[in-house]
A = this chain, B = another copy of it.
Amino acid sequence: MNKVINEVSKKLKSQEYKLTPQREQILRVLLENKDKHLSAEEVYMLVKKKSPDVGLATVYRTLELFLDNDIIRSVNFGDGCKRYEFGDQEGHHHHHVICLKCGKIIEIDEDLLEELEKKVNKEHNFKITNHELKFFGYCKDCAD
């Protein structure tokens, strides 16, 4: 984990940004919850446990900073807030399967979209840089 933190620190420094204690705490929370998809508010709560005097605004500003520097990604599951996950934009794409009843999220690693991307690129003259695929349905515990 410290290795990752170091890399992030370098990445930020190379862009004239600092990894301040608050930012590091936020990063740690994101790393400790790699499997979850935390909202800004949730990150805030978790950070507060360790450093009670961070402000919510700082969390938002830091998440924005991390996003801009491709340190994290944001996903919108349609539940009214953005959610964040560690990993840069260029990292290998995974997709989400979301249970409409319990909200559980499964990640799948398949990436069968290369072909489709090429097709869109050719047919519509559209330079695709990213894609997002979500499946909605019911998990085994919530199946009708």
CB neighbours of A125 from chain B (8 A): 139-140, 143
Interface of A toward B, CB cutoff 8 Å? 74, 76, 78, 97, 99-100, 106, 108, 110, 112-113, 115-117, 119-120, 124-140, 143-144
CB neighbours of A106 from chain B (8 A): 124, 126
- Between-chain CB contacts (< 8 Å), 13 pairs: A106-B126, A110-B119, A112-B115, A117-B135, A125-B139, A125-B140, A125-B143, A126-B140, A127-B138, A127-B139, A128-B135, A128-B136, A132-B134
Shortest Cβ distance from residue A126 to the other chain B in the assembled complex, whole angstroms: 5
A123 nearest in chain B by CB position: B108
CB neighbours of A137 from chain B (8 A): 126-130
Say yes or no: B136 contacts A131, CB within 8 Å: yes
